Amino acid sequence: MTDSTLIRWIDGEAPAGTSSGTTWGMPFPRGTVHGPDALTVTDAGGARVPSQAWPLATWPDGSLKWAGIALPATDSPAASYQVRHDTGAAPSEGDAPPSGVQEAPGGPRVSVAESPDALTVDTGALQMVISRSGSTLFSSLTRDGRTVARDARLVSLLQDGIPEEAGTASRQQFTGEVTAVELEQDGPVRAVVRLEGRHRQDNTGSAGRSWLPFVVRFYFYANARSVRMVHSFIWDGEADRDFLAGLGVRFNVALEGEPHNRHVRIAGADGGFLTEAVRGLTGLRRDPGADVRAAQIGGRATPAPDTWNPEVSERLHLIPSWGDYTLTQLSADGFELRKRTAPGHGWVGISGGTRSVGFCSLSDTRGGLGIGIKDFWQSHPGQLDIRGAAGADATVTTWLYSPEAQPMDLRFYHDGLGQDTFEEQLEGLEITYEDYEPGFGNPTGIARTHELTLFAYDATPSTESLAADAAAASSPALLQATPEYLHSVGVFGDWDPVDRGTPARARLENHLDFLFDFYAGQVEQRRWYGFWNFGDVMHTYDFDRHVWRYDVGGYAWDNSELSPDLWLWYSYLRSGRADIFRFAEAMTRHTGEVDVYHLGPWKGLGSRHNVQHWGCSAKQLRISTPAYRRFYYYLTADERTGDLLTELVDSDQNFLGLDPVRKVRPDADTYRPNRGALGVGLGTDWGSLAATWLTDWERTGNPRSRDRLLGTMADIGALKYGFLTGEALYDLDKGRFDTGREMISVSHLSAVFGLVEICSELVDLVDDPEFERAWLQYCRLFLGTKEEQVAEVGEPLAGIYLTQAHSRLSAYAAARLQDRDLAARAWESFSEGGEHLNHESAFTLRTIEPPHVLLPVDEAPTVSTNDTAQFGLAVIQNLALIGGHLR
């Protein structure tokens, strides 16, 4: 028996020209697919295509929940595909493990040859040799037997200070040193190689400083002429004395042709390209001949010089060769291009523009290397350097942080303002909303990921072909299942595909569209771009200045506060919109890397909202929670996101070292972190732990995560007041709560950082009636009347805010209990409880023009990110749960 589903390109059309191979994630209904070997892929016409699949997650019964699926590169990608799966019996004990590989006869293959010193990966179109240690990421990249690049390496510059005006600062050069290489996948359709290492100071040997740990992955697809590269690094410097002045990837490019047959291609903005030869033959006082000029412009080998006009061929040595080119993108709004003949000589300006796509190539008529950087201008300052193009050994350096920009300054932005005690810090919270504490505004441990694509050329490609490569590197093609299919599987809790079937539904859908479009516009108008900023949004608006409160304590960068990540991902799930996916993707990359610590004493914790992403002293699991990252992991099978999820597996250890409520704890005089009795909140804390354990259990089958998840669920169900208890004492060694605590403590923040979504999944996933009872009690009573609360638990609940957001609690209980009155109350609470988004005038824009602002900007009178995220989630979940009761 088989089943199938449609898979479509997220941008609506198949990629133009050759696809580079693609990977996506796909779920399957519980109990229907026993393993990845049951999966096959066909094109729109029903013809089987080669594929490779592997498990990403399993259901509790062991059946396949999510699979990663890869297709090879092809010159003719289909407009859509279908994934078919055999729904027969599960394999018997002793059967060979499933391979997940489905090969069409004669299909392309990627192969990996291992030796003690190196790995050699062959896609059929290119070959890369990766040494197991040393200073190179790869020693050679070849195409058709010719080496197009070699000795790829990470490079960085460290500056020891930033002079204010007069003064000097010194720079030291570092090179990445690979210390470990792992073959994570070995084909035949897709291979992945992971490298780890650190940057080491040049010319100092083992005695030199070592810092900036990195992970690099290379992705290879059968038949591909390109390699995807994902680079992540962790900042582990000291902000007061370490100023990163450059971070890049450098490649040696071997050129053999004469300078006039060597070609430089650099992408500008809006599809534009600089197309030049190192030694130009056009525009000269004497004409070499039309066929010579046409060949050079086209990137083809020019005719032999003895066939040219001798007035040119005899004077070739008098035509300058331009060996060095540089493009700098120092802001989101402008790039500059220049060139020079050689070091020691002056630069000549070429041109400039707005937003370079971040692509360059260097080649001769036998081939060469092209490199594209995803989100290049968005992640400024970036730079592209070509050096020595007229000589025997040229280099191309793609700077992820430009050495021509101001060095990276990660120092905390103020001197503490005298806030030395908790009491003074809480006073600061009252005025600027900043939760300050000395020493906590420390960036050590934050990370950043970049994605590059390397192209191996067998000749200088046409400009049209290069433009297609640049576009593909900037916005990689992606296959995805439809919203209807994803919904039918029952993943990610309570949501429905977009439905405008009634006027009331259409009105809410229009409001959701308005809010997304508004934030997408704000990213552009407010220039929420930059190396550490791209992907995040601001928290709250300042109407007097017509700016977001970028400089006011805790009102600046949002850092996942009240779950904009969830709002975006659920918006994508139900719509399938590519623009929403890419917004959510950028936020996931940012919030999972920059807003979370990956080493040091706060490893596994995230930082609350602040003027600087790392500035707040509230280091909490509610920011680092996998609830925000697992969407991207499951939908794309992205290994880097998998690393971030793995980092959090033991995050319950953090409660032993740092109490998240240390400044406001009622029992602060007596409470001390004790591994046998750690205070763990049943809202943001346990919700984050539950997301961690659930994700790890599904991904790996880890019994520790399974037992802690199921055990603490049972313990919450056994507490007299369940979730209303607010906080329970956690035994770190046993992974269980003390069920004897009898108190009631409710917070308006408990359910707005993923708890609602995770509990909904857990109730469906795990048969635990007492846990379900406890969760339904919380959902019923949070917005219940005081009389209902007193009747059930003996006292009214305090701390009831964010009524519109919490309407989805009532909606969940109404749907689960089939209670029409509760459903009516949920919609009433939604309509009347929003502080700012409960009236039509909220969904209007006004434009503010200069001179009152720097640039024309749009304002939404009452929109903040807190309200937007929770309004969006309430709409999405209420429609899914009680949409039939909407009037």
DSSP 145-157: TEEEEEEEEEEEE
Whether the predicted pLDDT of 552 surpasses 60: yes
Residue listed under structure tokens 């949002």: 558
| pLDDT recorded at residue 101 | 58
Burial 549-561 (b: 16+ CB within 10 A, else e): beebbbbbbbbbb
- What DSSP state is assigned to residue 846? E
Span 400-408, average pLDDT: 98
In three-state secondary structure terms, 332 is coil
| pLDDT recorded at residue 19 | 78
Whether the predicted pLDDT of 25 surpasses 50: yes
232-273 residue pLDDT tens:
999 999 999 999 999 999 999 999 999 999 999 999 999 999
| pLDDT recorded at residue 167 | 86
pLDDT band of 553, cuts 50, 70, 90: very high
Residues with Cβ < 8 Å from 685, sequence gap 6 or more? 620, 621, 622, 655, 660
Domains of the chain (ranges, CATH numbers): 2-102 (no CATH), 108-277+323-477 (2.70.98), 280-319 (no CATH)
| pLDDT recorded at residue 18 | 73
pLDDT band of 102, cuts 50, 70, 90: low
503-526 residue pLDDT tens:
999 999 999 999 999 999 999 999
pLDDT band of 93, cuts 50, 70, 90: very low
Whether the predicted pLDDT of 502 surpasses 70: yes
157-194 residue pLDDT tens:
999 999 998 889 999 999 999 999 999 999 999 999 99
CA 338, 390, 251, 190 dihedral sign is positive
860-871 residue pLDDT tens:
988 999 999 999
434-472 residue pLDDT tens:
999 999 999 999 999 999 999 999 999 999 999 999 999
Percent of the chain with pLDDT over 70: 97
Whether the predicted pLDDT of 17 surpasses 90: no
Span 218-231, average pLDDT: 98
Q: Are 235 and 443 in contact (CB under 8 A)?
A: yes
755-775 residue pLDDT tens:
999 999 999 999 999 999 999
pLDDT band of 96, cuts 50, 70, 90: very low
Q: How far apart are CA 616 and CA 554, in angstroms?
A: 8
Closest CA to 699 of 183, 65, 53: 65
358-370 residue pLDDT tens:
999 999 999 999 9
| pLDDT recorded at residue 91 | 43
| pLDDT recorded at residue 331 | 98
Closest CA to 518 of 87, 758, 863, 877: 863
Q: How far apart are CA 806 and CA 793, in angstroms?
A: 19
Closest CA to 39 of 9, 61, 69, 60: 69
| pLDDT recorded at residue 87 | 63
Span 622-633, average pLDDT: 98
Residues with Cβ < 8 Å from 383, sequence gap 6 or more? 248, 326, 327, 328, 329, 397, 398, 399, 402, 403, 404, 405
Average pLDDT value over all residues in the chain? 95
Q: How far apart are CA 728 and CA 722, in angstroms?
A: 10
Q: How far apart are CA 522 and CA 61, in angstroms?
A: 45
Q: How far apart are CA 544 and CA 546, in angstroms?
A: 6
| pLDDT recorded at residue 1 | 40
